[in-house]
Structure 1
Amino acid sequence: MTRRLPGTTALLALEAAARHRSFARAAQELSLSEGAISRQIAKLESLLDVRLFHRVGNRVELTEPGARYAADMREALDLIERKTRQLQAESRVDAPLEIGVIPTFASRWLIPRMARFHQCHPQIRINLRERTEPFDLADSGLHAAINVEHPAWAGMQVEPLFQAPLLAVCHPDLAGRPPAGLPLLHKHEDGEQWADYARHSGIDLPATHGGPRYDRFSLLIDAARAGMGMALVPRLYVEDDLRDGRLVAPWPEVAQLSERYVLVSRPGEDPTALGALRRWLLEEIGGRPAGATTPAP
């Protein structure tokens, strides 16, 4: 069935005239004559069989249906422009990859290794964009995201990267304290992790929900370094701290508790540069010391 759709020239004329409340200023912006703008609006009104503007002297005012339609068409034009620029950028050989990353993962694991990626792929530029929570990738302007497994990625292409075991860590001065008397530090959205840890480890933690809460693992780690209590964090974030003695892990590691990291991209969208990044990530993970990260099945 043939679609009866207005042309883009008419929609651009509508958007500009609605924004300026003036055919003359719309004509100036679009490098057209005022008469051409008027004719485009007239053709649009004829197609829709709806009056879009009232002419008031040298100005124009949108009718109620005209205001609704203009707002809807502005959103449609914005979407067309955004998708067009996105495709143009992806088609360029030297276009950068836009990757959404968890800030702590980026600063403590990814960025320290990026020099190796650039040595192998000097022609690929990667821009990292901070994303603390799972988000709508489809309309984000990003090529991919490195994040934790989450229902928000339904409908996307999700490739498992690795599972990072969670480890209970604290300042060395607190290591000798009995577990029941040691403050527990929490990540905001993970309210049950200490209860799960107590159940699997057999350690008696009578107050698993009390204690300060922090938005990011990086803040939890800083608080543990400062001696504020025990933090439950992915091992890969604290390996340097454990090696250098800034933190210790006096309690047992629980195999059932881990963060599962994935690479998320849109289905059917696989720029060559993204494939190179995917292969490099898997190679880096495969080369990690035993126990640091476990490649996800």
Structure 2
Amino acid sequence: MRKFKIPNMGALTAFEAAARHESFTHAAKELFLTESAVSRQIATLESNLGVRLFVRAKQRVVLTRAGRLYGTQVRRTLEALDRDTLSIIAHGSSGGYLELAVLPAFASQWLIPRMKDFNDRTPDVRVNMGVRTSIFSFEESHFDAAIHYGKPTWPGTSCDYLFGEEVVPICARSLLARPVTKARDLLDYPLLHSTTRPNAWATWFAHHGVQDNSTMHGVRYELHTMLIAGAASGLGVALVPKFFVDGQLEQLGIMIPIQASAPVDSAYYLVYPTELSHGKPLELFRSWLLGQAQAYDAATRRSQATQREPDWGKLR
């Protein structure tokens, strides 16, 4: 049994709004209350907590250090409660919502273009997506599942293999002074690196027999979309998953200067807490996603078997 009384929702809501605005007046307008009502709620909250949350200075209020910290924590809690409430309302219907953590480029370039098929097949289930680029605690988040790139080593979860990837160098046609015939030729140009895969270029070059400290030189971008934009702008050569640019080379204004693949020991996985594996929305999405991944993987393998060198005549 709790040994203390949790503040009521009205007091927390009033405090969160006042903390966000640092103004009782603006909080009152947002909540359709009087300023004195907001002031009373916060005064009661401070009394119950035994902590001063605001400093009153003439016609304005300023958060104390404790107030600023508590404001952030309360805001997160109220946002989580909103999400949980919407989720349970959805579960009251015949379908439901799946909260999925995604990698931004994977979602925009591969997953979202395929989602209409899922929506058409499963009209009672909808998938909400939020970005997470590293491993997180499912217990401390609202997500039901995640798309993960790396190894299947996420504690407390089950992992389904989706597919591996082939990374390719890309650049603007205008960047190249002459045809690229071997991997080492790319060291004549600036290299654009991924902050989430800092050793990608070094690994790619090493596979092609190039050991050189300059493979680690160059600017770094956090997202693959930034790498693609940088390459298209003529800033250098980027190394990206091939499926991010498949069928879009002309549209993006980029080319693959050399068809030289390298094995990658990481892959994409669908990850979810083991105890949630039998939830209906996740079960339906998982079945559909694995089918899409298998079809894509098979098509990729066929394509790799018929790769052709770029048409260097177009560079002139």
TM-score category of the 2 structures, normalised to the smaller one: 0.5 to 0.7
The residue type paired with residue 167 of structure 1 is V
Structure 2 residue corresponding to 1:176, chosen from 159, 177, 180: 180
Deviations 1:201-259 (A, max 9, x none): 2246551111221111122122223343322211221221358784225142112x254
Structure-1 separation of matches of 2:121 and 2:209: 46
In the TM superposition, residue 284 of structure 1 has moved relative to its aligned partner by 0.7
In the TM superposition, residue 197 of structure 1 has moved relative to its aligned partner by 1.5
1:187 aligns with 2:201: no
Counterpart for residue 154 of structure 2: 153
Structure-1 separation of matches of 2:80 and 2:221: 39
Structure-2 separation of matches of 1:248 and 1:108: 18
Residue ranges of structure 1 left out of the alignment (5+ in a row) = 20-24, 30-36, 53-66
Q: Is the 8 A contact 2:194 2:224 kept in 1?
A: no
Counterpart for residue 229 of structure 2: 222
The residue type paired with residue 134 of structure 1 is S
Deviations 1:76-107 (A, max 9, x none): 98599468526624623343322221111111
Structure 2 vs 1, CA of residues 133 and 175 (structure 1 numbering), >3 Å: closer, same or farther?
Answer: farther
Structure 2 vs 1, CA of residues 180 and 276 (structure 1 numbering), >3 Å: closer, same or farther?
Answer: same
Which range moved further: 163-172 or 189-198? 163-172
Counterpart for residue 287 of structure 1: 295
1:248 aligns with 2:252: no
Larger radius of gyration: 1
Residue ranges of structure 2 left out of the alignment (5+ in a row) = 19-27, 33-39, 53-66, 303-316
The residue type paired with residue 95 of structure 1 is G
Deviations 1:104-142 (A, max 9, x none): 11111111111111221122222222x252153422222
Structure 2 vs 1, CA of residues 15 and 263 (structure 1 numbering), >3 Å: closer, same or farther?
Answer: same
In the TM superposition, residue 12 of structure 1 has moved relative to its aligned partner by 7.6
Structure-2 separation of matches of 1:14 and 1:242: 52
Q: Is the 8 A contact 2:87 2:97 kept in 1?
A: no
Q: Is the 8 A contact 1:148 1:261 kept in 2?
A: yes
Identity of aligned residues (%): 25
Aligned residues: 274
Deviations 1:153-189 (A, max 9, x none): 3223333222112223334446437644532533343
Structure 2 vs 1, CA of residues 110 and 220 (structure 1 numbering), >3 Å: closer, same or farther?
Answer: same
Structure 2 vs 1, CA of residues 243 and 121 (structure 1 numbering), >3 Å: closer, same or farther?
Answer: farther
Counterpart for residue 92 of structure 2: 92
1:275 aligns with 2:283: yes
1:196 aligns with 2:200: no
User: TM-score, normalized by length of structure 1?
Assistant: 0.66
Structure-1 separation of matches of 2:2 and 2:179: 71
Structure 2 vs 1, CA of residues 75 and 108 (structure 1 numbering), >3 Å: closer, same or farther?
Answer: closer
Structure-1 separation of matches of 2:14 and 2:244: 51
* Aligned alpha-carbon RMSD (Å): 5.0
In the TM superposition, residue 193 of structure 1 has moved relative to its aligned partner by 1.8
Q: Secondary structure at the match of 1:96?
A: strand
Counterpart for residue 121 of structure 1: 122
Structure 2 vs 1, CA of residues 233 and 293 (structure 1 numbering), >3 Å: closer, same or farther?
Answer: farther
Counterpart for residue 133 of structure 2: 133
User: TM-score, normalized by length of structure 2?
Assistant: 0.63
Q: Is the 8 A contact 2:192 2:239 kept in 1?
A: yes
